[in-house]
Structure 1
Amino acid sequence: MTLRALLGLLMALLLPASGGHACSKETPCMVGERAYYYAAPEAPVGAVVYIHGWGSSGAGALRNSGMLNAFMDRGYAVVAPDGVPREGRNGRSWRFHPSADQGADVAFLQAVRDDVVQRMSVDPSKVLLVGFSIGGSMTAYTACLAPESFAAFAPLGGNFWRPHPTGCAGPVRMLHTHGWSDGTVPLEGRAVNRLPINDPEARAQGDIFHAMDIWRQTNGCVFGKADRFVTHGRFWRRIWDRCSEGSALELALHPGGHSVPRGWASMVLDWFEAL
């Protein structure tokens, strides 16, 4: 075998099964002109697609070693897509707002899912979409617009913005987590351009309790009141059971602020694996 042939064989063995270039936590996987990063255990049982917050990036999200290890120790790959560049500023964002081109970012996340399923040979029914802050908002809008895109959705510290959606495409499996003392994205929402929250010109975060009502209607839940409550441990949880078959809906509150709380990743996987 010639040296060139040997090198070609080695490259073929090293490249991912999808036929794309090798990529990792530091080297981007390209989907069209956009990128994602990932870290994975050997033979992952599933994948968690994590959407970063405002001003961060996919590679930056994977530097949260506590969260990363919590997912990977359970056998899940952690996939972190890049949002779109912020004009004139460092870092990235997402087109999550109702006035933005949400469909473009939803399509990108679907393409990332497809690439991950092929690249890592994971079951698409074990691919979960999660996100923090506006990444949580992007998670919620993806669930609303394309509920079939991921097996389940777990936004943290962010959900819908005003004007709230008047309806979503279909039932979902969702666990929303929020900090009781979150001042960046308060449970009741706030206007980020310093206008009164009811001003038509306000660019305003949504009300999490209103968002949960939208999700109850989307999932066809029988009652507004939760069916079960968990009041021990770090997370207090409200659970709606009497809803459309195959759907799931929970709200988890923790005493902290706008952060990824300790134990969140494990709670999400416990919930996901019990569905």
Structure 2
Amino acid sequence: MAVKPFLVACIALSAHSANAACDAEKGMCETANGGYQIELPDAESPPLLVFLHGYGGTGTGTMKNRGMVEPLLERGYAVMAPEGAMRNGRQSWNFFPGWEGRDETAFLTEVVQDAADRFGIDTTRVLLGGFSAGGFMVNYLACHAPGTFSAYVPVSGGFWRPHPEECNGPVRLFHTHGWTDNVVPLEGRILGGGRFHQGDIFVGLEIWREANECADTKPSGFGTTDQFMLRKWNGCADGAALEFALFPGGHNVPQGWADMVLDWYEDLPGS
């Protein structure tokens, strides 16, 4: 049965709340290291999908993607859109090893706890997703701290070169990418006049198979839908899950993505 979602204007629980009051005019919840927007389903202690915007994006822009947000709300999930920090004059994420800036793992942990305190979010069922630069952030956070969130669902973002030599595991990760993506091609591309080089998505999948101690590089399952070509790897470590979805479009969050990743997540043990 569908539930009725409602927008949280981020009003504090009371004038004496330990949390700083949210800005009702901007619709922004402020924490010590940043801010976020959130929408809640009409449900008690809902699970949460945190979705990170791309380079130059905003949390407001994320929430305007109703084709992604509405299916999540209808299935009983809260949706959070944190704000990236300023990098070179635009909002993005401090994902690349060695960069100076905000500790994004600490920030994202902070905003999830803030939402739990304000709105009763179930912190044991939090997925971290992101698009483009947000997808890169998801991969790097999952690589160094896979136990931070319940599962990871990046779109159109993997690693940069040099690829990580290894990642911690096990991890539960579902990567989605467009076949004709020319902003983050499957093979990667050179950025900043040669200063940066996006990584190869399939090399990233190899890194995840190793982190998950998968028995074989060969996928153990394939599938197709009207929108996606799917492959997954079984025979991995306890607590691991790895799946990849390819769609025919370019650099975007495709229609049907939300239901696809929730179907995957809800089929995982313990979810």
Whether 1:49 aligns to 2:42 is no
Correspondences of 1:120-199 after superposition (within 5 Å): 120-195=119-194
Contact 2:233 2:241 in 1 (8 A): yes
1:125/1:15 Cα in 2 relative to 1: closer, same or farther (>3 Å)? Answer: farther
1:141/1:73 Cα in 2 relative to 1: closer, same or farther (>3 Å)? Answer: same
1:24/1:78 Cα in 2 relative to 1: closer, same or farther (>3 Å)? Answer: farther
Deviations 1:209-241 (A, max 9, x none): 000000000001000010000023311111101
Q: Distance in 2 between matches of 1:267 and 1:166?
A: 30
Deviations 1:60-107 (A, max 9, x none): 2111111111111111111011111133x3x41111123314771121
Compare 19-28 and 124-133 and name the one that shifted more. Answer: 19-28
1:12/1:125 Cα in 2 relative to 1: closer, same or farther (>3 Å)? Answer: closer
Which residue does 2:65 correspond to in 1?
64
Q: Distance in 2 between matches of 1:14 and 1:29?
A: 14
Deviation at 1:148, TM superposition (A): 0.9
Deviation at 1:194, TM superposition (A): 4.2
Which residue does 1:221 correspond to in 2?
214
Contact 2:134 2:154 in 1 (8 A): yes
Q: Distance in 2 between matches of 1:25 and 1:223?
A: 53
Rg bigger for which structure? Answer: 1
Compare 122-131 and 16-25 and name the one that shifted more. Answer: 16-25
Taking only aligned residues, the RMSD between alpha carbons, in angstroms, comes to: 2.1
| SS in structure 1 of the partner of residue 217 of structure 2 | coil
Deviations 1:91-149 (A, max 9, x none): 41111123314771121111112222222222222110000001000001110111111
Compare 119-128 and 180-189 and name the one that shifted more. Answer: 119-128
Contact 2:20 2:31 in 1 (8 A): no
Which residue does 1:266 correspond to in 2?
259
| SS in structure 1 of the partner of residue 148 of structure 2 | coil
Query: What amino acid does structure 2 have at the position aligned with 1:72?
Result: L
Contact 2:145 2:168 in 1 (8 A): yes
1:16/1:119 Cα in 2 relative to 1: closer, same or farther (>3 Å)? Answer: farther
| SS in structure 2 of the partner of residue 265 of structure 1 | helix
Correspondences of 1:218-257 after superposition (within 5 Å): 218-257=211-250
| SS in structure 1 of the partner of residue 134 of structure 2 | helix
Which residue does 2:106 correspond to in 1?
107
Q: Which runs of 4+ in 1 moved over 6 A?
A: 15-18
Instruction: With the length of structure 1 as denominator, give the TM-score of the two structures.
Output: 0.87
| SS in structure 2 of the partner of residue 49 of structure 1 | strand
Q: Distance in 2 between matches of 1:83 and 1:105?
A: 9
Compare 128-137 and 94-103 and name the one that shifted more. Answer: 94-103
Contact 1:48 1:127 in 2 (8 A): yes
Q: Distance in 1 between matches of 2:71 and 2:33?
A: 30
| SS in structure 2 of the partner of residue 148 of structure 1 | helix
Q: Distance in 2 between matches of 1:24 and 1:227?
A: 49
Unaligned runs of at least 5 residues, structure 1: 1-10, 196-201
Identity of counterpart residues, as a percentage?
A: 45
Which residue does 1:73 correspond to in 2?
74
Q: Which of the two has greater strand per residue? A: 2
Q: Distance in 1 between matches of 2:233 and 2:162?
A: 25
Which residue does 2:8 correspond to in 1?
none
Contact 2:12 2:21 in 1 (8 A): no
| SS in structure 2 of the partner of residue 43 of structure 1 | coil
Unaligned runs of at least 5 residues, structure 2: 1-10
1:30/1:234 Cα in 2 relative to 1: closer, same or farther (>3 Å)? Answer: same
